[in-house]
């Protein structure tokens, strides 16, 4: 009976070793925490913020989601958006303060999406600034008296995700 357990242990160890070696041989690019998907003629890569925004008087917290997208056809081909749980009070445009890799802050104009819960920026120039970056911080005002929201993103794996998106969209990366 002892020999049977030893043989079984060797077989299990060999199987695990082969599975690990086979998995390593077919491993894809390291996308970090980015989730790449697609539907409706576009390919997206999404990433949750590393911080939480507090809602409902401090009862609930959530992480905003940054999504980059490319379209198979049509213009603009590239866009980015920030998904929120709480709406902003602006109706058309909002000023977003942007900091890339801890450098100085600069302002961009973003459009306010449906129900004020999505902030959108069209074009590839916003994505270009992120390709070689490690960290992105976005800050915006929820309303005149509501204060500011801030979302921090660790961008590890972004260049691989953008490469995969560009290949799926049959276009060059920004």
In a domain, 56, yes or no: yes
For 65-123, the pLDDT digits (tens) are 999 999 988 676 899 999 998 888 878 999 999 999 988 999 999 999 988 899 999 99
Question: How does strand 65-71 pair with strand 42-48?
Answer: antiparallel
pTM over 0.85: no
Q: How many CA atoms lie within 13 A of 22 on its CB side?
A: 6
User: Which structural domain range is residue 63 located in?
Assistant: 35-169
Q: Is 84 in the same domain as 147?
A: yes
Please give the Cα distance from 48 to 32 (Å, whole number): 11
In a domain, 174, yes or no: no
Domain at 114, CATH number:
2.60.40.1880
Helix, strand, coil distribution of the chain in percent, nearest 5:
25, 40, 35
Please give the Cα distance from 98 to 108 (Å, whole number): 7
Please give the Cα distance from 21 to 28 (Å, whole number): 14
Q: Is 20 in the same domain as 104?
A: no
Q: Is 133 in the same domain as 94?
A: yes
To which residue do tokens 């020999």 refer? Answer: 3
Question: How does strand 35-39 pair with strand 93-100?
Answer: unpaired
Q: Is 162 in the same domain as 110?
A: yes
Q: Is 16 in a helix, a strand, or coil?
A: helix
For 50-70, the pLDDT digits (tens) are 988 766 566 567 899 999 999
Q: Is 70 in the same domain as 144?
A: yes
In a domain, 115, yes or no: yes
């Amino acid at each position: 009976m002892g020999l049977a357990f030893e043989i079984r242990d060797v077989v299990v160890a060999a199987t695990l070793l082969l599975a690990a070696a086979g998995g390593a041989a077919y491993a894809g690019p390291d996308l970090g925490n980015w989730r790449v998907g697609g539907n409706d003629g576009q390919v997206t890569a999404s990433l949750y913020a590393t911080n939480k925004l507090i809602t409902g008087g401090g009862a609930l917290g959530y992480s905003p989601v940054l999504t980059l997208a490319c379209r198979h056809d049509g213009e603009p081909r590239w866009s980015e958006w920030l998904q929120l749980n709480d709406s902003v009070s602006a109706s058309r445009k909002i000023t977003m303060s942007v900091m890339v890799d801890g450098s100085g802050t600069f302002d961009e104009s973003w459009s306010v999406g449906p129900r004020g819960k999505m902030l959108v920026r069209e074009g590839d120039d916003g994505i270009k600034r992120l390709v070689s970056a490690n960290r992105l911080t976005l800050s915006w005002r929820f309303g005149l008296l509501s204060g500011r929201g801030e979302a921090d993103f660790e961008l590890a794996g972004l260049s691989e995700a953008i490469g995969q998106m560009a290949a799926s969209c049959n276009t060059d990366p920004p």
